[in-house]
Structure 1
Amino acid sequence: MKMNRWLFLVLLLSLLFVMVASASADENNATELKELLRVTKELRQRVEQLEKKLQKYEAKEQQLEAKQQELEKAKEEVSGIKKALGNLEFAADITMVAQGTINNDDNAKRAGSEGKDKVDAAWSMDFDITSKIGESGTGFLKLEAGQGYGVNDEVGAISGINDDAPETEDPIVEVTEAWYEHAFGSVPLVATVGKVDLTNYFDANEVANDETIQFL
């Protein structure tokens, strides 16, 4: 009988020890679980922050790519302009003339003016653009601008005193030449099509073809 009591007591103590150990293990597991949940929450917040930064970086990368495309397009346009300008040649000249009359009463009356001496001025400007087109072609454009009468209307002369004067009170700009010329390499032949100045081809006056260096 005593043996059974001792056995029961040992079993009871063993059961209490197991229960205490189990409770301690459960408490440790709960603490570890709380710590794991806390770390998981922090990691989740960190991941969200990194995702937001990644989205910002991706947006900036897209903006940089768009700017890079714009830059490449601008480079192509500049390259095209440089290539086009590389085939262009420019030339310009300007002429300014001031003229006056002295004791011009008789001539002025014959010219139908007021019969007084007068001083007047006129100016003209030429702007030429030449472009090489292909291996055998040439394009040409001439703009002429000017203003003033000079004294052409004050002097009753047979020929003009200043044939270069535009004879207008307001400034004007005109396209006086615009043509394309093609040279045929196989034969000595050149064809010109467009608006041309015939005095460049048929002119008997050898001393009045250029108002900047010859007679007016």
Structure 2
Amino acid sequence: MATAPTTEWKLPVGKARVFLAPGHKGIQKPVILVGDSGTDLDALTASVDDGSYALLAELHASGRDLILVGLTADDTLDRHSGTVTEVVLRTIAERLGSTPLTVGGTGRGALAARYTLAKLETQRMDHQTAAYFSHDGTAPAEGDEADRLDRYGNWPVRPLKLGLIGGGAASEIDVEAFDESKTDGSDPGSALLSKELGSWLLEHLPS
């Protein structure tokens, strides 16, 4: 049985689920994970709470809170970014203390998170994010998406950039774009990450 979220945020486009670590009365050490475009939030929840490797349980064991973000299918990068922006700003507003955020995603969710952080920096808005992670990240489509991302500097400057490639997937992004990266060719099954990738990610997140 999947772990129930502490609360769910209804957003103008999509929704998010907040999973507080045991003993937490509010968000304290936030990790925002944006799902691939069109991924059902129930399916995303199951993938981070899978019996073969439960990323959610490992994050909780390290005292971190997880916020899962669902993105609608076939929407624009700007619309997806609007959803991620709202989650980032709401997380900052509701966070207890000043521990910086970790923000990332999988597939186009990673692209939306990247775009959002880069855009906020260009707008001189403090996203308070210390680490960005991309799992099987998608490159922007040529043309409008690539042009829009380039307008905001292509990548966020402030956070540590972590790249994760799993399950034999071919990365659309040059690993040289990341500060540190990890590839694991093993099949994670129904889990989002293999144990090797998940453990590596946790080791590289800011404390």
TM-score bin, normalised by smaller chain: under 0.3
Name the larger-Rg structure: 1
TM-score by structure 2 length? 0.21
More strand by share: 1
TM-score by structure 1 length? 0.21
More helix by share: 1
